[in-house]
Amino acid sequence: MIAMAIVFEKGTETAEKLIYFYACLTYYIQQESKKGGDCMTDSQKILELAKQNNAVLTTAMVVHAGFSRGSLQHLVKKGDLERSGRGVYILPEAWDDEFVNLQTRYKRGIYALETALFLCDLADRTPLKFQMFFPATYNLSNPKKDGILAKGAKEPFYSLGSTELTSPAGNPVKAYSAERTLCDILKTRNHVDVQVVVEAFKRYVLRKDKNIPLFSNYAGALHVEEKLRPYLEVLL
């Protein structure tokens, strides 16, 4: 029988400690109740889930799979997992993925502009600051406090060209497509250096998966047709 004793000093019993206590208690009860059942313990199943997800876990994933939050805290305490960010956990040997961390924290954020260029392999330089677009009504105070260059966008522009790309660590993240991003960087108000723009267009026209009709549609929707035309005339 697994035994657990948590002793609180008099006068220091906080809500946070109580939450941790009950989460751990729930976890141990679950473990005990499954004795003699599956050959894999909950801990082993959670670690296997992490391995199947490129060494990254989120609290939402674990809860959705039917495990308690306390199981994550237990694995962190044992050293089998590391807390990478709020709600994000990684295996000790994994590369900490800030792209995933930020998007887990700000689920409505979509990587845009030079961050999206990097994810689309249209730029080599890792952005000094992450850039994200949010719905127009989203409160941008917290993302900005975390150093994100955040902007609000109305529909249909917020959703236009949103897709799933792969972070440098190999994890899926939401970002704008190459065609949408190239349209965005042509806008003067986004302040993207002209050398970055030229290099991105050069790379795009060499891609086998380029989609010029889609590119033209996005340019029309985002009102950058006139700015786009010279680049395509020179490069195509």
Q: Supply the pLDDT for residue 136.
A: 96
- Is this structure's pTM higher than 0.85? no
Quick: pLDDT tens for 150-197.
999 999 999 999 999 999 988 899 999 999 999 999 998 899 999 999
Residue 222 · residue 157 · CB < 8 Å: yes
Count of all residues that appear for the chain in the document: 236
Sequence letter at residue 118: F
> Side-chain half-sphere of 163: how many Cα atoms within 13 Å?
13
Residue 121 · residue 203 · CB < 8 Å: yes
Burial class (CB in 10 A: 0-12, 13-18, 19+), 117: buried
Q: Supply the pLDDT for residue 3.
A: 43
Residue 179 · residue 218 · CB < 8 Å: yes
Q: Supply the pLDDT for residue 52.
A: 87
How far from chain centre, in Å, is Cα 94? Answer: 16
Q: Supply the pLDDT for residue 204.
A: 95
pLDDT less than 70: residues of the chain: 1-39, 236
Nearest to 105 by CA among 68, 152, 147: 147
For the chain, give every domain's residue range: 15-90, 99-235
Q: Supply the pLDDT for residue 212.
A: 92
